[in-house]
Amino acid sequence: MSRLSIEASTPLCLLQDAGRFGVRHLGVTQGGALDWVSMRWANWLLGNPAEAPVVEVTLGGFSLVAEDDCCLALAGADLDARIDGEPLKPWSSFTLSRGQRLRLNQPVQGARAYLAAPGGFAAAQVLGSCASVVREELGGLDGFGSPLAKGQQLAYDRPVPVLKTVPEALRPDFGDVSALDLVLGAQIGDFSGQSLFEAFNRDWTLDSRADRMGMRLLGPALQYQGAPMISEGIPLGAVQVPPDGQPIVLLNDRQTIGGYPRLGALTPLALARLAQLLPGNVVRFKPVVQESAWQQQRDYLQRFEL
Amino acid sequence: MNYRIETVAIDCLMVRLFDAIDEANMPWMLAASQRLRAVFGERLIDLVPSYTTAMVHFDLLHLSPEQARTLVREALENLRPDNGSGGRLHEIPVWYDLSVGPELALLAERCATSVADIVRRHSEREYQVFALGFAPGFAFMGLVEEALAAPRLATPRKRVAAGSVGIAERQTAAYPAVSPGGWNLIGRTPSKLFDRERDGYSLLQPGDRVRFVAVDHTTFINLGGDDTPLEALA
């Protein structure tokens, strides 16, 4: 076993994997890394399965000291990572000698960084996943969904693989400001014509009311004119519109069913980009057809076959 | 059987079977869930049934949206209601008391009757589990007698104790774990509604039937109930 001790953490530093599946009919949320693209690259850097357990560090404030000679990979946001004070850029695997300290300080670009270990960090599976869901008391190092905390140890038990870097051309572009793809949903025709125009032609500002359940967007109030809805399943990335007309993008830790009308759902690639944005950032939406979004996703996944 | 297939997300379809909540829908909903699970098999990532719908989350590595639509149609061809299994009948003990169910007083006042009468009326009906959601093992049940229907609290409580039994509109439910909540609370059950060690995890499943049984404080405690008053949790 190679071990690392956590010296600093926050409630936003969580053990995650691809999520918890096959139990949503029981009211159990999906969970999992918000920026699945960066999580996959972190695992790719070490030759891990795509869904191996990683640490999701949101906004920084996380620090580890190596108890043994270790190897890790870092992908996603630039959170001013440093090894014993020396800058460490994301998108690479690297080694930490015993006693060396890795710190992720604060956002330089993006919001969420992913740390992976050879074979994945050791964690018990709870209902098929180690994804930490604080609200449901599931997953994480303790099995009860707690965020990572000072004094805990992370561990893995694989040898050090060949160190790698994600080719620059394949990395997500966190400076990309193009519109986010949204697959239109069944209630789209029940919004006013004006609201439909505004939904796809106006800027939407990310509110500070944002967590792993959802992100609120501020902009013109959208008007739903359809009948009240009976609660039904909510997909990942649903853009729901409550009575105040301000959309909420529902994320991995959302409730499983709900009764607000939806414009549709963001694509997985749009969600990965959204996960790297901060309150005050501005987004736009672009309608896409399900089949073409599906094809685009399949094509994108080829990148990880490298 | 008339139904609609709606686009929900890149890898999700909504199968809409009904347009209103009705206990008579449940045999059809259960049959549809079973058929969808059987036909999709390993290509199903999750199935999220609710009152009138079943959301199919399919594996996009193995199915295109069009192929998934074809499978839904195959699953629902010649669908017959599942009257056979009918779900399990659960008797759930409840300690109805103002200290853990403060809205008992509100309901009694609104119905111009006694707290004991509210308890009798809530516990004499057999309820159907319509859907699970909100939290792991949280079962939406109904229908509550029309006179007992009560809108959700204007300001939800920040902390509702695990086991709290409540009413919202014509539905009733028990909170499996501590959480925020806006339902009118009338009592508390010692039953463990969600248990990671239990086969199937959730005590209640869609289609199950539930009868609440009033128990006294001693029985509630003997069954493992926690009688911490609601105010002490706030």
- B154: domain CATH number is 2.40.100.10
CA distance B187 to B165: 5
Give A131-162 pLDDT, tens digit per residue: 999 999 999 999 999 999 999 999 999 998 99
Give yes or no: residues A25 and A155 share one domain. Answer: yes
Is B157 within a domain? yes
Indicate yes or no: CB of B55 within 8 angstroms of CB of A298.
Answer: no
**Residue B84 domain-assigned?**
no
Determine whether the interchain pair A257/B50 forms a contact, defined as Cβ–Cβ distance below 8 Å.
yes
What CA–CA distance (Å, rounded) separates B179 from B134?
10
- Mutation for testing the A interface, residue in B3, B6, B10 having most A CBs under 10 Å: B10
Number of domains composing chain A:
2
The shortest CB-CB distance from B136 to any of A27, A258, A268 is to A27
**Packing angle between helix B103-110 and helix B115-124, nearest 10 degrees?**
90
* A303: Cβ contacts below 8 Å, ≥ 6 apart: A170
* Domain co-membership, A132 together with A273: no
On whether both B19 and B117 belong to a single domain, the answer is no
Percent of the residues in chain B that have a pLDDT greater than 70, as a whole number = 98
Examine the domain organization and report whether A205 and A164 are in the same domain: no
Q: Which pLDDT belongs to residue A306?
A: 78
Structure tokens at A86: 């020396």
Task: Give the domain extent around A95.
Answer: 2-170
Pairing of strands A180-184, A285-288: parallel
Q: Would an 8 Å CB–CB cutoff place A183 in contact with chain B? A: yes
Q: pLDDT at position B231, please? A: 72
The first and second tokens of residue B49, run together, are 């049934």
In this structure, are A264 and A151 located in the same domain? no
Work out how many CB contacts closer than 8 A connect A with B.
137
Contact across the interface for A27 and B138, Cβ inside 8 Å: yes
Total domains present in chain B: 2
Contact partners, residue A56, CB within 8 Å, separation at least 6: A13, A14, A15, A16, A33, A34, A39, A112, A113, A114
pLDDT bin (cut points 50, 70, 90) of residue A116 is very high
- Hey, what are A258's tokens? 């709900």
Task: Write the pLDDT tens digit of every residue in A157-213.
Answer: 999 899 999 999 999 999 999 999 999 999 999 999 999 999 999 999 999 999 999
> Can you give the pLDDT at residue B198?
93
The domain boundary, picked from A170, A199, A223, lies at: A170
Structure tokens at A46: 């070490």
For residue B83, tell me if it sits in a domain: no
Least CB-CB distance to B48: which of A24, A184, A298? A24
Distance (Å) from the alpha carbon of A223 to chain B's nearest alpha carbon: 20
pLDDT for position B230: 82
Low-confidence residues in chain B, pLDDT < 70: 85-86, 233-234
Q: Among all residues of chain A, which has the CA nearest to that of B196?
A: A127
- Asked if the Cβ–Cβ distance from B202 to A21 is below 8 Å, we say no
Compute the distance between CA of residue A204 and CA of residue A199 in angstroms, rounded to an integer. Answer: 8
Q: Is residue A175 part of a domain?
A: no
Domain boundary among A113, A140, A170: A170
- B115 vs chain A: nearest CA distance in angstroms? 31
pLDDT at residue A68, rounded to an integer = 97
Residues B66 and B162 in one domain: no
B72 with B93, same domain: the answer is: no
CATH number at residue B22: 3.30.1360.40
B45 and B158 together in one domain = no
Q: What are phi and psi of A216, to 5 degrees?
A: -85, 145
Please report which confidence band the pLDDT of residue A293 belongs to, taking 50, 70 and 90 as the band edges.
Answer: very high
Regarding whether B96 and B212 lie in a shared domain, the answer is: yes
Q: A216 and A295, same structural domain?
A: yes
User: For residue B234, what pLDDT is reported?
Assistant: 60
Q: Do B56 and B172 reside in the same domain of the chain? A: no
Assess whether B68 and B101 both reside in one domain: no
For residues A114-142, give the mean pLDDT: 97
Specify the CATH number for the domain of residue A282.
2.40.100.10
Q: Which of A170, A204, A238 is the last residue of a domain?
A: A170
Mean of pLDDT values over A55-78: 98
Domain presence at residue A292: yes
Domain final residue, candidates B54, B76, B98:
B76
The pLDDT score that the predictor gives to residue A84 is 98
Q: Which domain does B129 fall in, by range?
A: 89-223
Are B29 and B93 part of one and the same domain? no
Q: How many CB atoms lie within 10 A of CB A299?
A: 9
CB contact under 8 A, A231 and B51: yes
CB < 8 Å to B46, chain A: 21-25, 30
B204 touches chain A (CB under 8 A): no
| Confidence (pTM) | 0.95
Q: Is B231 exposed, middle or buried (0-12, 13-18, 19+ CB in 10 A)?
A: exposed
Residues of chain A in contact with residue B6, where contact means CB-CB under 8 angstroms, are 185-186
Planar angle of CA A268, A40, A125, nearest 5 degrees: 95
